[in-house]
Structure formats: structure tokens, C-alpha cells
Structure 1
């Protein structure tokens, strides 16, 4: 099971995510915000957007929005946006 192990705000609505399989990618949430659902509406505020946190490997906000690490990982892989980290042994 893939988990997000680290998240870092980059710019606008983009967050760099590191996954438990030693991959990482930059996830742009603009398409999610463009849907205009009530749950994602607070994320349009830049200060609120930056208040994300990780809980049990998922990307979350305090309003209850929780994004599945597996779905994010799959989308990044399909878009060719996943990279492998190279860590020294």
C-alpha cells in the first residue's frame, strides 16, 4: 500500500509529494479546484491551501478533505510525473 511520507508546498496549487515506494512527484491540485465542489472551495484561499497535513499517509486539510495516496500516485504515474529518489546506501 502506497503512502505519502512527506509533502512540501511548491507554488500556486502544487505540492511535491514523496511516497513510501521512494518515488516523488509534483501534484497540481488546480484541476480538483476547477470542479468547484463545496469541500475543495476553502482550498482556493492560498493560506488555507498551505495548511495541508499528512494523516495515515493521506494528504489532508482540516475541513475533512482527504486525498488518497494511491490515487495521487496512480495519476502522477499515468502523467509521467513520478521520479525515483536516489538515496545512498
Structure 2
């Protein structure tokens, strides 16, 4: 784990609610976000459409969508690290 704040530096859409993410500390990995489509809350209902999920962009190092939903890069990093989904990889990869 890192003690500094991490940000997502780059993302790649892989389809089926999956993204590959590169973090500011040099770690990278793939993550499945399909749970967003199953939450069923007013803010997450848009994610039932995979095309809407693919509208993700980076804002201040956080995954963000047009409806204002964002995902904390620190929490995402913690979850991915805990699951063993991160490895050292340069952004240029």
C-alpha cells in the first residue's frame, strides 16, 4: 500500500464493464465494474446501459461519468490492491 494519495492517470475501456487503470504510483490493473449496473439506485440506474458506462472519463484522477457519479481513486486502489489486481506497469504500456 502507498501512504500518498493516488490518482488514476490513464484508463482503457475493455468492454463488459471492465476497465484497465494506471495509477500515479506506477501500479496498473484490470477491474470489473459490473456491480454498478446491479445497484439500481437513482444515480446508478444509467449504468444498466453499457454504452453509458463507457462514457467514463478522468477528472482530477477519479473515474467520473456525465451524471456526476465518481469513484474515489483511493478506495478503488485499496480494493484492487486487496484483490491482488495491481502490478507495476508503466503508463506507456
Residue pair 2:39, 2:45 contacting (<8 A) in 1 also: no
Whether 2:72 is the aligned partner of 1:80: answer no
1:1-89 correspondence to structure 2 within 5 Å: 1-85=5-89
- Segment drifting more, 55-64 vs 39-48: 39-48
Q: Could you give the per-residue CA deviations for residues 45-73 of structure 1, whole angstroms, max 9, x where no partner exists? A: 12111111000000000001010000000
The gaps in structure 2 that reach 5 residues or longer are none
So what's the TM-score if we normalise by structure 2? 0.86
Q: CA deviation at 1:36?
A: 1.9
So what's the TM-score if we normalise by structure 1? 0.90
Structure 1: 4+ residue segments shifted above 4 A: none
SS of the aligned residue for 1:48 comes to helix
Q: Distance in 1 between matches of 2:8 and 2:75?
A: 11
Q: Distance in 1 between matches of 2:72 and 2:58?
A: 11
- Segment drifting more, 51-60 vs 38-47: 38-47
